[in-house]
Amino acid sequence: ITGLPFSVYSQFRIEERFGFNKMTIGLFIKDQIKSLILSGIIISILLMGLFLFMDKAGSLWWLIASAGFMTFQILLSIIYPLVIAPIFNKFTPLEEDGLKKSLEILAEKLKFRTTGIFVMDGSRRSGHSNAYFTGVGKAKRIVLYDTLVSILSNSQISAVLAHEIG
C-alpha cells in the first residue's frame, strides 16, 4: 500500500512522459489486485511454514526455516514461468520461422538448454523492448517482448539473446 503512490507516479507520469506507458487505469488496478492476492497467498504460506518450524524445531528453528525458504525460492523459480507470469501476460510460442531457428541454433551453440522460446504481450503495458530467461530445469524458457520482435531484425534479436545468455 505504501508503494502504490510511487507505482502510480512511475507508471502514469514518468513512463508516460517518455512515451513508454501503454497501460490503462483499469489494467493497472487489475494488476495491483492480482499482485495483492498473490502476495497474500505466498506470504501466508511462508509465515505458516515459519511459525510451524519455530513451534516444532525448538532452538534450531532458524536453520530449518532457512532451508525451507531456500526450497521455497527454488519452487517459485519453477512455478513462476508456468503459473504466475501467465496471470499477468499472455505467452505464445515463437512461430516456426527463421528467427526461431536462428535463436535455437544460438542457444545450442552456447550450450543453453531451454524448453521453449515465447513471445510475451508486453506492448499491452509498455513500449519498452526486452528479453529475459526464466525458470530452472524443465521450466527454463526464453521470453521475448512482442515490442522487441516487432522493431528488431532477426540478427539484432540474436545479439540481444547472446547478451542475455552471457
The mean pLDDT value of the chain amounts to 92
Q: Please tell me the pTM assigned to this model.
A: 0.84
List, in sequence order, the alpha helices (H) in the chain: 4-9, 15-17, 25-57, 61-79, 85-88, 98-109, 146-151, 154-165
pLDDT at 14: 96
Residue-wise pLDDT tens digits, 1-13: 899 999 999 999 9
Residue-wise pLDDT tens digits, 107-163: 999 888 888 999 999 999 999 999 999 888 777 899 999 999 999 999 999 999 999
DSSP state letters, 96-116: SSHHHHHHHHHHHHTT---S-
Catalytic one of 95, 104, 108, 164: 164
Residue-wise pLDDT tens digits, 97-110: 899 999 999 999 98
pLDDT at 60: 82
Give yes or no: 164 in active site.
yes
